[in-house]
Each structure stands twice: as C-alpha cells, then as structure tokens.
A and B are shown apart, each in its own frame.
Chain A
Amino acid sequence: MKKVTHILTFALVITTMLVLNSCTKDPKPAPVEEQEEYDDVRIHFITLHTDGSQTTDTTSVSFNKEGVPSPSHKHLAPHTQYRVLIDLFYKGNSINHEIKEEGTEHQFFFLPSAPEGIESYLYNDKDADTRGIGLDGNMKIGSGEFDLKIVLRHGLDKSHPSAQAFNSATYHDAGGEDDLNIMFEVHAEE
C-alpha cells in the first residue's frame, strides 16, 4: 500500500511539471524609444567674405540613415572660406545639444582624401576645456576633386597629440569610438 502511495506521489510530481509547462504565456515587451542612432545628418557650407563675414550663400549636403549623401557630390568654390555647420537629427529633432553638453568627450575630424583639398579648418565651438568640438567651424577649401570624410569621435582623449589637428590621420590613437563616420565627394573646381 505504501508503495502505491509513493508511486502516486511520483505520478503527481510528473503531472505537475507537465501542467507547469502548458501555461507558458507570451512575453509582453515594452516598445523601444530609440535615441542612440542618428537618422539624419546635414552639413551646411556658408560662403564667407574674405573679411570673415557671412554671405547669404549657403549650400548643404544631407545624409540618410544608411549614410548615403544627397547630393552625391558637392561643388564648392576653390580657395574659399566656408563656415561649416553640422546638424545631427533624430526623428526631426536636432540632438546637437547632446554633443555640446559632452563636448570634452566629442570631437569632429575632417579628412580629405587629397591633402590639398582643405587648406585650413578652425574649430569655432569649444568645450569646457576650450578644445574644439567641430559642430561649427571655419573651413578653407583647397582645390580639386576629393572625398571628404567626416568623423565624430566619442570618448577620446582630446589632449592626446593625435587629436590636435583637424585632419589628424592618426585620430584613432587618441582612443574613443566613432559616433559618426560619413563621406561625400567635393568638387572644388572653377
């Protein structure tokens, strides 16, 4: 009799487990409000007078989520000063303030495929340590046809020797990671 009771107990345990199994419900995830990736980047080139004052002549390049530029190439005047403004968007809202607030962790680099493509660049915006960020800057275009790569580094050591030049080819050595890495063609010809 005792044995029967034990076997019944065992059977009960098995049944319980099978029942436990049958009541698996569907998960109920919460929708995600993505804020990590940009979905739109625009770069504005405002032509400057030789004295540095702004003209009303502005031309822009925009990039979609996949990093594809539109237009695919940009005509810029050779040996001319431009004020370059970069706007980062997520769902139509600018998130430039996120970069500015953490300015000591962020820096843009401008890397032309031909060194003569850019004659100079000056960071207009500064972080808390008075080092450049690059959302706003003055760029003197050189000449020729070249690819312009624009990189936004995050978490770099801005005091590192490799982070001092706007076109530092060794910017990786200053540490950090890419927040933005885009490229478009510039035609700087008469």
Chain B
Amino acid sequence: MALCVMACILPYMSLRGQQADCVHTLYLHIVDEQTLQPVVGAVVQLNKVNSQSDPDGYAVFPRVCQGLFHVHVQATGYQSTGQELRYDYTDSIRIVLQPLRNTLDAIEISSHRQSVQSANAVSSLQGEELDKLKGKNLAGMLSNIAGVQMLQTGATIGKPVVNGMHSNRLLILNNGIRQEGQQWGSEHAPEIDPFIAQSISVIKGAEAIRYGAEAMGGVIIIEPPALPKDSALHAEVDLATASNGRSGTVAGMLSGNLKRIPTLSWRVQGSGKQGGNFNSAHYYLDNTGVKELNYSAALGYSGKHLQFDLFYSRFNTELGIFKGSHIGSKEDLLAAINRGAPATEGSFYYGIDAPRQHIDHHLLKARGHIHLTDYLHINLQYGFQKNRRQEYDLRRGGRTSIPSMDFDLLTHTADATLEYFDGSRWKGMVGVNGTMQQNSSAANLYTSPLIPDYNSSGTGVYAIGKWLQRTFELEAGVRYDYKYLTALGYRGPVLYGGQRSFHNVSGSLGLVYHINNQTEFKSNIGTAWRPPTVNELYSTGLHHGAAAVEYGDSSLQSEKSIQWMNTVHYANTAQWLILDADIYAHYFNGYIYLMPTGTFSESLRGAFPVFQAESTNALFAGADLSAQLRFSKHFTYQVKAAIVRAKDVQHDRYLPMIPADKWEHSLTARYDLLPFLQESYLQLTHVYVARQSRYEPNSDFAAPPPAYQLININLGTQLHFGKQNLSVHFSIENLTNVSYKDYMNRYRYYAHDIGRNYVLRLSYRI
C-alpha cells in the first residue's frame, strides 16, 4: 500500500497587492493522501522553527515571510522529507510524501497555487492590515480594498459599495450566515461587530450559485478565528482611541479548549465603543455620537468524523443622526443645500438626541460537518437572526420618545451541502437552502411605517462542479431559486399589500489559468438575480430621512444580471513586483431604482419631490487596479485605483450614487529601529477622489461635490515577549485637515466630511 502524506500549505491571504511580508499565519495541513485522514504528531520544521501537527493534521506557523523557505516533515511510518520551496501568500503547496518502504521521490509538488474558492476576484483583510483599521465600522475597513467604497450617512453609518453596488445587490456572510437586516435603506448599516473577524474578504462579482439571490455585486465574508485545537488559553485585547469624536473602543477575545474533553473548544468575545460628536475641518457635527456594545460566544466540538459548532452573537448600537440634516420639507432641504454647512458651529458632547437610531441584532448559528466517507462530506447549518431597528425622529406632543420606525425582522436560514472530492481532479458540491422571514412593525407608533409588514420564504438548490488540472481549473454551476412574499400593511385606516412569487435559474462558468508560477488569470461569467424589495414594491409615502415621497410598484419583476469578471494577478519570483487587475462588465435586465418623476407632492408641511420605483436596463463596467513595487530592502511603493462606469442604457442616462474615480498611492518604509521591535513601518498615503462628472443634472438636489485629496500617515510596530505580542499602530487621517465633501456621503448636502483624526490602536495577544 502506497501511503502518502500531503501537506497543504494554506496561508491566510493578506490584503492583496498590499505589502505582505512576515505577517501571515501558515497552516500546514498534513493528511494521508489515500485515506485523506490527518497525520497527527508529524514534526514539521520550517526555517528552523518546529511545529507539530494537531489532531486535525494542522501544523501552525505564525508570522511567516513570503519567499524562499525550507520545509522538513517527519512522521512515524512515513518517509522524512525536506525541500526548498518558494511560495507567495496566495499559494497552496501540495507535498506528497512516500512511505518508508518506498524510496521514490519524497516530495512532489503537485500544486503550487492558491486553493481557489472562487473564479471571481477575491481580496481579504487580515493580520496587520486588519489591526491597522480596528475601531472603524465594517464599511470603513473594507474601503481599504481597491474597488470597495462606502455609502455614508454621516461619519457613523457606512454601507460597503463593491464595484458600484450596495444594499440589496451585495451579500454579507457573517460567520457563514447571510446577514439579514433592513438592508433596503441607505442609512441602514450592516449590523456586524468587525472585532469578531480574523479575516474580512470581498468576492467581487456575481456569486449567485453558492449564495443565492442578492449576491449580484459581490459577497463580503466575515470570518471569526478558528476555535483553538491546543490546550493553551488564547487571549486578545484591543484598544482604539480616536481624537475626532473623542471615541474609545475596547475589545477582548478569549478562547481555549476543555482540559477534560479536549475535543471541545470555546471562545468568548466582546467589544464596547463610545464616541461623541465628530468635527469637520472647521465645525462640530452636532448629534453624531455613537454607543455600541457587542458580544459573542462560540462552542465547538471536533471529533473524528464530526465537527459541530454553536455560535451566538449580539450587536447593539445607538447612534445619533446629524442635527443639521433635520428636514421637514423640500424647502428645508434646499435651504440646507444653499448653506452647504450647518448654520451653527456646533459643540462637542457625547449625548445622543433625536433623530437617532437604535439597532439590536441577534444571531444564533448551529453548524455540523460530517465526514461521510473519505471523499464525501456533509455540511448542515441553521441560523436564526432577530433584527430590531428603531428610528426616532423629532416629533410633537411628547412622541419623540416613541420611535417613528420600529421594525422587528426574524430570519431563519437552513443550509445543507454535500461535498465531493476525488482527491485529485474532481470537486463537486450540491446544496439546498431555505429561508423564512417575518418582518413586522410595532403598533401604536402614531405614524404609518414606510413599508408594510411582510412574510417571505425562499428555497434554492444548486450544484457546482470543478475540474482541477495542473495549469488550469474549470468551474461550472447552476442554481434554481424560488421566493414567495406576502405583504400587508395599514396606511392610516387603509390596508394595502399583496402576494408575489419569484423564481429564477442562475448559472456560472469560471476559469482559473495558471499561466506560469508568476501569473494567474481568472475569468468568470455568471448570472445573478434579486427579487424586488418590499419598499420597491409597496412603499407609498413620505420618507422623512430623504425628504421625498416614494412610490413602489407592486408589478415589478425580478432584477437579473449577467457579469463577466476578469482578474490578472502577477507576482515576480523575487516578489518585488506585484500587480493585480480586476476588469468587469455587468449588464442588468430590470435594474430597479428610484426615479425622480419631476413632480411634487403637496402637503401642509410643504412640497416634496416624488420618486417612483422603476426598472430599466443598466450596464456597469469598470476596473480595480493595484500595483506594488518594493524598490529597495526597506521601501515599498503602492498604487490602487478604482474606476466604475454605470449607465441606464435603456434611456441613455447616468445612474445616481455611483462612486467617483478614486486613486490612492502610498510609500511605506519598513525598518526596525530597535532590536526588540518587529515589523515596524511608516506609511504615507495620498488619496485622490475625482468629482463625479457622470450624473444627470436634474436627478439630484445638488450637483456632485468637487474632487478632493487627502493625506494620511500610518506608523506602527510589534513587540514580542515570549509568546506575548503587542502591536501598536498610530495614524493621522486627513493630515492637512482638508474641508471636503464626498459624493457617496448623503450628508454632503448639509455638511462637510470629517476633519483631521489622530487614532491610536493597540492589540495585545497571547
């Protein structure tokens, strides 16, 4: 019997195209090739550092540098091996070992590449890159990836925008569960605590096959760290403090496993944040404080053929809405736009007054992974989410303390997948998922909710096949979805609503071509869809936050799209040059948006512009580019650019709220001044955001703001004391205190973006 050992090196990816020196944790998975069983207790030596494979066959090496290394594997019953290998953090190296009695080649590199999860472009934030951003909200962190921008409602509310798409065209997977909140509102930020994440990844492009409806523009994946397999207690404490808003954030994480039952491991985590009014370059933004308290707990069992884990998290935030955005009528809005800045200078305080939001999100997840045979695995997952969104406005008659919106959204999701891998060439997956949702508005709010109550359910079945070859991989997938929605609400005494059902078939075809060891080309063409949201179907009334009367269209059909995403990644052998390009085209059939009708609705409060939900055909095209050049031992230059063009091709009009062109370049110096410091860096970044010149003049209340430039400085280092690690990061954002407005910030009508900000971040790990 020819026994082989496979060592798969699955290093965590870092922000692609970023400096990615010695910050990656390397996981070597050592398994018996024939039985695919993990090899326990194998001694693995990497650059003179020893590690032993755990019960799952993993040997872990923290802080591994890119480039050349020597790996040596020794295991009882197997041939000891050693070889020089060169790897890039995106590589996956398969090493095949022969048993003792066999004297043939000890190591065979059968694959020297990334274990591709998607034929679309994937970018991730983790390790040092993530530490440098802690304390920001999720969208703020993600905007460090080329092609990801932010749709903001002030400094506290941010939604990620991937290649020009956001809200219901973007899917967020929080620990494997699709995030379900009131996503339709642009002032509704994702209810996720980024402190839980060990990695945050963005898959750009349509991923409708695996993830179903709404994964049109991309998928954002938030992954907590794996539960520990060793007996040590792992702890992490993070502190972040920022001068702008005078905010403080504390977060902690503790994990370990049970001594008596080593197969059971656990993790608890929590974070708290308080911030007051932000200031722009010249004045305070009244009532922009935030309070946040989040926590989570996880318990995992890891047996021979079964893995099971339970996870619970709670996200709770209260945030103030900028006072200067109080809008009672169109006249108010125009007066605010003419002024361009609040009438008063404002002041600093922590208190949060109306208008404000209070959001509470619970997530409960149970997941099982069963090894049926060596080639066949089953994943079962159930998730329950409870999202409560309360929005308080300035109201009369003591009603300010009563929310004017109070939605309670319950979501059940269930997923089952069956995975097959023949060990060399074929990978396959079939899956089914189901969703049930119930959204209800609280009674006695004394005002009609913008959307009716609704219940919905959906089912999807899909199959994906992958053919792996030495130089290329081919992937094909097909999916069928069915969705049912029943909505009913009162507008005053009048009942409205209806029932709708939608179904759709999606398909995708992807290619990953390893041109050579330096260059990889990926191309993916896929269809995706989403059903119209409840507000697009049924909303009929005044949207106070937007100072607009919005009408839904109950006859709207599903929005369908086809996207072609091409990615080129090049990294030369010596790793001093890394180039990435994502180029895409995305065509929509029935792109749903709110179209200004040009008419006004009269009321005792004044006139409001009327918007109507409409569908049209749209084309998005663009490119995200990044390049990194290490021109000396200590210096790296990096440039990132994101360009997106979007048009309503049916009417030959530009679409609103599409990010302007953005260029960003930075110079990083890496040098450890003192012997006990590691990974020290000083980075100077220049950001240029162009004016959005592609817009329809009468589609918006105000023209897009002018272009702006920002200069940011980051510096940081790491200290190690035995097993302990302290990382310190300091940054100055908007160094020159520029007074600017961003087209993607809805508050640009009323105020400038935030001014200079000093931020200190500390992460302590053991």
Contact = CB atoms under 8 A, between A and B. Distances in A.
A181 B329 contact: yes
Contacts of B453: 27-29
A175 B323 contact: yes
Contacts of A20: 412, 414, 434, 436, 457
Nearest to B542: A37
B454 A27 contact: yes
Nearest to B335: A172
Interface stretch (A94-102, A118-126, A131-139): A94-102
Interface in B588-636: 602-606
Contacts of A182: 604
A16 B439 CA distance: 22
B396 A179 contact: yes
B372 A6 contact: yes
Given A32-B448, A37-B603, A175 B343 contact: yes
Contacts of B372: 3, 6
Interface string B474-517: 00000000101011111111010100000000000000000000
B398 interface: yes
A177 B334 CA distance: 12
Interface residues of A, number: 57
Interface in A88-128: 95, 97-99, 101-102, 106
Contacts of A155: 326, 394
Nearest to B492: A34
B456 to A, nearest CB: 7
Interface in A120-161: 154-155, 157, 160
A162 B335 CA distance: 14
Contacts of B487: 27
Given A67-B606, A177-B394, A157 B344 contact: yes
B658 interface: no
B323 A10 contact: no
| Contact-residue bracket for chain B | 35 or more
B323 A37 contact: no
Given A35-B399, A36-B395, A181-B605, A30 B438 contact: no
B178 to A, nearest CB: 15
A82 interface: no
B602 A33 contact: no
A29 B440 contact: yes
A32 B445 CA distance: 7
Contacts of A38: 604
B455 interface: yes
A28 to B, nearest CB: 7
A118 B602 CA distance: 26
Interface string B440-474: 11011111110011111111010000000000000
Contacts of B370: 6
A29 B494 CA distance: 11
B732 to A, nearest CB: 32
B457 A172 contact: no
Contacts of A22: 457
A1 interface: no
A26 B397 contact: no
B373 A33 contact: no
Contacts of A26: 455, 486, 488
Contacts of B491: 32
A173 B397 contact: no
Interface string B18-55: 00000000000000000000000000000000000000
A24 interface: yes
Contacts of B482: 21
A-B residue pairs, 4 tightest by C-beta: A177-B328, A178-B328, A17-B434, A30-B443
Given A32-B448, A67-B605, 12 more contacts: A13-B432, A20-B434, A24-B455, A29-B453, A34-B492, A37-B603, A67-B603, A101-B397, A102-B397, A157-B344, A176-B326, A178-B605
23 contacts: A6-B376, A6-B378, A10-B416, A13-B432, A20-B414, A20-B457, A24-B436, A26-B455, A26-B486, A27-B440, A28-B453, A33-B446, A35-B446, A36-B395, A67-B606, A97-B397, A101-B398, A160-B344, A172-B343, A174-B343, A175-B343, A177-B326, A178-B332
